[in-house]
Amino acid sequence: EPMLLNGQRLAAEMRGQLAAQIARVRAQGYRAPGLAVILVGDDPASAIYVRNKKRAAQEIGIEPVDAVLPQGSTTEDVLRVVDQFNQDPAIDGILVQMPLPPQIETETVLARVRPDKDVDGLTVTNLGRLTAGEEGLVPCTPKGILRLLEAYDIALAGRRAVVVGRSRLVGLPVALLLMQRQATVTVIHSRTPEPETIARQADILVVAAGKPHLVTEDWIKPGAVVIDVGIHRGDHGLLGDVDRERVWSRVGALSPVPGGVGPMTILELLDNTWTAYRRHEGLSE
């Protein structure tokens, strides 16, 4: 019977630990950590994500502050809000909910976020630091995936990892992190011929392709650890990039959708905010 990598449970446990650490510094008289969330426009999925992140922050003692801007906002409008949070000493983390409306220059907005407040780890500075192996803020989903693997004692050193997808948000940084843990990493993407053949070599397969049920039994080496990053709304609930029923008899371990990587991502947002806060307050890590 394969092992289910329960991100829901691990994230809840870790949130409890964060809440206790925050309560401890508050009792010593320190201010609350602050997380600013910027939402532009009226995409319903984005509104739900923002609400969930704010609630998760609040539950552990992080003060969420939000700025909601209309769909017709300009790049300048968004930059003004970013600047305001950049300068606000009560704000430790700034999150710009993606996607932004098409008239807004996403790169320009991201570039404006102060790297020490970039809790999504998406600025060029933080991606550069990650690439160079320097301390910074690490993107949430990749960091959550590594924490999940570690919690289940899944060895990485010397093992073969295949990452499906090369996005700045997930695929690319997760490949870097796996390499840093001494895995042998191959990245495959939309232009890779015969991806199954490569995927079948993986001891650890991380799938972030954004294609519902892309990965079937032909992609799986028997006993492989499979991390499903995809999230898609189906008629009967959420679907991943991995077809769970078809791979189940071959995998050694699998992160489910929902309840796998999703909750870990939110946890890491909170953890990054806590890290940024400690750096701002000069508290040891």
**Catalytic residue list:** 53, 97, 120
167 is in an annotated binding site: yes
At 159, the amino acid letter reads R
Chain contacts with ligand NAD (rule: CB under 6 A): 141, 164-167, 169-171, 188-190, 192, 195, 208-211, 214, 229-231, 261-262, 265
Cβ neighbourhood burial of 79 (10 Å; 0-12, 13-18, 19+): middle
Q: Report in angstroms how near the CB of residue 100 gets to ligand NAD at its nearest.
A: 14
Q: Report in angstroms how near the CB of residue 183 gets to ligand NAD at its nearest.
A: 19
Smaller CB separation from ligand NAD, 113 or 198: 198
Smaller CB separation from ligand NAD, 81 or 264: 264
What does DSSP assign to residue 64?
E
Smaller CB separation from ligand NAD, 61 or 262: 262
- In angstroms and rounded to an integer, the radius of gyration of the C-alpha atoms of the chain is 19
Alpha helix ranges (H) inside the chain: 7-27, 44-59, 75-87, 106-112, 124-132, 140-151, 171-180, 195-199, 244-247, 261-281
Q: Report in angstroms how near the CB of residue 140 gets to ligand NAD at its nearest.
A: 7
Contact 212, 242 (CB under 8 A): no
237 is in an annotated binding site: no
Residue indicated by tokens 């499903």: 228
Smaller CB separation from ligand NAD, 25 or 96: 96
Beta bridge partners of 160: 184
41 is in an annotated binding site: no
Q: Report in angstroms how near the CB of residue 199 gets to ligand NAD at its nearest.
A: 9
User: Can you say which residues are annotated as belonging to the binding site?
Assistant: 165-167, 231
Binding residues for NADP(+): 165-167, 231
